[in-house]
Amino acid sequence: MTQKWLNASEWEQVIANHLYTEVDEIGIRELKYLYDERKMTVRVPSCSNSKMPFDYLIWSKTSKKNHDKHQPRYVKLNIFDSPVNSIRCVEFQNQAVTKNIVPFKEFIYVHYTVHNNMFTVPDPKSRKRRLEGYY
């Protein structure tokens, strides 16, 4: 599974065989693990995380000057015969870092890969978590 994006059958293997680490949120400890191992799959509860769990990395950005957009791509998959919208992200500052997100039942599965040695663990003070649930 060193390819950039997991397909539906690979996601089914990850979920069925518990090939992930269960965490409440994706923090610096998990990103240090990603730095060391170059790939990581985690499962977070959907009730306490947005559809794109916060992880201190930049996955979307819009340039105000020339209106260029760097944003995730949504792809429909069938996981265990259930349709889901997977999210495919490429890190803004390092195109060799990818994040593949699949919501399934009451969890969100996130698969990260790093394809070069340029990845650095971000400073936790560099970005703040988005406020959620305040409308």
What does the domain layout of the chain look like in residue ranges?
8-114
DSSP string, 56-78: SS---EE-TTT--EE--EEEEEE
Q: What does the pLDDT read at residue 1?
A: 36
Domain 8-114 has CATH 3.40.50: no
Q: Which of 18-32, 33-47, 59-73 has the lowest mean pLDDT?
A: 59-73
26 or 130: which leads in pLDDT: 26
pLDDT value at position 127?
A: 59
Q: What would the mean pLDDT of 33-51 be, rounded to a whole number?
A: 93
pLDDT averaged over every residue in the chain: 86
Question: Measured between alpha carbons, how far is 46 from 33 in angstroms, rounded to an integer?
Answer: 22
Residue that wins the pLDDT comparison between 123 and 100: 100
Asked whether the predicted pLDDT for residue 131 surpasses 80, the reply is no
